[in-house]
Copies of this chain bind each other. A is one copy, B any other.
C-alpha cells in the first residue's frame, strides 16, 4: 500500500452478499488501516444495491472479471478485496464455468494489478473448501494452517490454485497478497444460492420466516461456521495486518465455530421457540452429505488469534445477529 492518507479500494464480487456487506462496513468505518476510503470500485456482473451506488465514493464496474484486466489496470488501487467467484455447486455442475470464473478471472485480476505497477495490497477470499478427504490421505482430526489441503471439489481446487498464484505474484513483488480462508458463512439472507453449504443458512432462515426447510445431513454432522460480522472482521484484519504479523504467504484459516447441525437447531429453538425448530425436516441427500462430510470441522486457530480474531462465541449469538441485521431484508 502506498503511504498516503487516502486509499482507493476495489471489491470484486461487490454486488454479492459478502461483497456488499464488506463495502458497507468499509464505507461506514470510512477508513482502513487508519487511511480514509476516498474511492471504492465495486466490480461485479450484477448491479450493487441502491444504497451502495448512492454513496458518492462508490463506482460500479460491470463485467466479467477475466475481461476487465485492461480497464482495471488503468486504476491504481491501494487495497483490493477479491471476493468474486462461482460457488461450489455451480463449479461442480459446470467444470468449465469454474475454471473460467475462478481461475481465469483471478489471473485477469492479478495481471491487471501487476500492470498497474503500484503493488496494491490484495486480500483473496479463499475457502475452507480447499480441505477434503483424499482417498489416499484422510484429513487429520484438527486442521492447522500448515495442513496440506486435498480439495475434493472443483471449487476448492480452484480456490487453492488461486492461493498459489496470489502467493507467487506476492513473492515476485507484483502486489502484496494475502489469502484468507473463509469458513461457511451463516446465516445468509435472501434466496438459497448454489453452494452445497446453502442448507446451513436455510435451516435457520426459513423457520424464522415461518417457512419449512430441509436438512440434507444427519443432526450429528459437525460443521465449521462463522457469522457474516466475524467474516468481515477477518477480511479487514487480513488487510490491515503488518506483513510480519500476517506471517508469510500461506493462506490464513479464519476462525471457526465448530458445531453439530443438531446443536444449531437446539439454538434455533432457544432463540425462536419450538415451532421454529419443527419447521426443519431431515431428508438425506447423498451428494450434499458427501460434500459436507469432506469439509473439516475442527481448526487450530492460533495464527488467527494472534491477529485478534476469535470465533463467534456460540450459535444463538449468530442467530440473533441475523435477526437484528438481516431478517427484515430477507424475504424468501
Contacts and interface: CB of A to CB of B under 8 A. Distances in A.
B172 A246 contact: no
Work out how many copies of this chain go into the complex. Answer: 2
A95 interface: yes
A283 interface: no
A157 B168 contact: yes
Given A146-B148, A148-B147, A136 B168 contact: no
A239 to B, nearest CB: 17
Contacts of A135: 247-249
Interface residues of A, number: 30
Nearest to A159: B164
Nearest to A303: B136
Contacts of A108: none
A99 B134 CA distance: 27
B146 A137 contact: yes
B151 A164 contact: yes
Contacts of A145: 137
A157 to B, nearest CB: 4
Contact of A164 (B146, B157, B168): B157
Contacts of A157: 164-165, 167-168
Interface string A119-140: 0000000000000001111000
24 contacts: A95-B172, A134-B167, A134-B249, A134-B250, A135-B247, A135-B248, A135-B249, A137-B145, A137-B146, A137-B247, A137-B248, A137-B250, A148-B148, A150-B248, A150-B249, A150-B250, A151-B167, A151-B168, A152-B171, A154-B168, A157-B164, A157-B165, A160-B164, A161-B161
